[in-house]
Amino acid sequence: MSSTEAAYNAEELQGRHFLTLADFSQDELTSLLAFAKDLKQWQKQGKPYRPLVGKTLGMIFAKSSTRTRVSFEVGMFQLGGHALFLGKNDIQLGRGETIPDTARVLSRYVDGIMIRTYAHTDVVELARYASVPVINGLTDAFHPCQVLADLLTLKEHFGQLKGLKLAYVGDGNNMAHSLLLGAAKMGIHVAVATPSGYEPDGDIVRDSEQAARENGSRVTVTHDPHEAVKGADAVYTDVWASMGQEAEASERRKAFQGYQVNGELMAEAKDGAIFLHCLPAHRGEEVTADVIDGPQSVVVNQAENRLHVQKAILASLL
C-alpha cells in the first residue's frame, strides 16, 4: 500500500469514534497501521505533516499516565494542533457534572476528545452525547491505542502479521481483551494464559474467536502459561495489579505465582521471539529484569509507536 493510498483510506474514518478495535474492520486497521508507518518515516526524515492546524484535542484524565499523555500531546503538536490537559480536578466532571453535559459542552469547544478513565460505559456514554470524535485512551475493559502500537511493532519486526503467534501471560484485563480482538482481526494466532478466576471476559473471547475464524487464525485461552508460550513469535505481559486494584496487590501476587515471564518461559517460544510489555513494568513480578532489559525486548520501540499510531488516529478522525 502506497503512502497516498494509506492516507486516503484512513481519511474515510473522519468523524468516527475510536472506542474499541471491535468497531473496525481488518482493512481499516491495516490502513491505520500503514498511515502510522508513513507518519513515522516522515518524522524521521524531517518532513512536516500538519493537517490539524487550528484543531484542539481535549484530553480527560481520570487515570494518570506517562505514555498516553505525552504521546497524544506531542502528536497533536506535531500535526499542527493543540492538546488541552483536563485532569479529574480540573473540570466539573470530577464534581458531579453529568457525562452528557460534559460531552455536549466540550463538543462546542474542541475538535476531539481523548479520555483515559475507569468504566468503559463512561466512554461509551461520552461518545453517545459528543458531536466530535471520542478516543478511548484506556478503560478497565479496553486499551485499543496500545494494541494498535503493538501491531505496528510486530509488523515492523516480522514484516507481516498474518500467521504470527502472540502469547499473552497474566491478568485477563483490558490488555488481554484488546490483544484478543486486535490479533484475531489481523489473522494472528493469540493464546492467553491466566490463573483461574482471572480469565478474560467471555463475550470478548467469543467475539475474538469469531474474528479469528473469519481471518484464518485461532484463539486459545488456557491456565497453562507454557502451553500459551510454546512456539510463540511474541510474548506479552502486563502488571498483575492495574491502577485501581492496589488493594488486591498482595492477593494477586499469590494468584499469579507461576505466571512470571522469565528466561525459562521465553525459551519455550520460537527462536527469535520478542518480548512486549505495555509499561509501566514491575521487574521481579510479572517479568524478570533479564527479559525486559535483554535483547529480546522491544518495549521501548513499542512505547515509541504509541506516538505514531495516535498521530494516525488523530489525523484520520479529526
Those residues with Cβ within 8 angstroms of residue 263's Cβ, 6 or more apart along the chain or in another chain: 288, 290, 291
Query: Which residues belong to the annotated binding site?
Result: 65-68, 92, 116, 143-146, 174, 238, 242-243, 278-279, 306
User: Cβ–Cβ contacts within 10 Å for residue 288, how many?
Assistant: 18
| Angstrom distance (rounded) from CA 126 to CA 98 | 10
| Angstrom distance (rounded) from CA 254 to CA 293 | 24
Active site residue 157: no
Active site residue 306: yes
Active site residue 69: no
Active-site pick, 17, 69, 116, 177: 116
Burial class for 216, CB neighbours closer than 10 Å (0-12, 13-18, 19+): exposed
Question: Which residues face 165 on adjacent strands?
Answer: 189
Active site residue 238: yes
The grid cell for 39 is 507518519
Active-site pick, 78, 146, 260, 310: 146
Active-site pick, 17, 69, 177, 306: 306
Query: Which residues belong to the annotated binding site for carbamoyl phosphate?
Result: 65-68, 92, 116, 143-146, 278-279, 306
Going by C-alpha positions, the residue among 192, 65, 175 that lies closest to residue 117 is 65
Active site residue 150: no
Those residues with Cβ within 8 angstroms of residue 200's Cβ, 6 or more apart along the chain or in another chain: 172, 173, 176, 177, 180, 192, 194, 221
Query: Which residues belong to the annotated binding site for L-ornithine?
Result: 174, 238, 242-243
Contacts by 74-79, CB closer than 8 A, 24 or more apart: 74/307, 75/307, 75/310, 75/311, 75/314, 76/52, 76/314, 78/43, 78/49, 78/50, 78/311, 79/49, 79/50, 79/51, 79/52, 79/55, 79/311, 79/314, 79/315
Active-site pick, 17, 69, 143, 189: 143
Active-site pick, 278, 302, 308, 310: 278
User: What positions carry a catalytic annotation?
Assistant: 116, 143, 146, 238, 278, 306
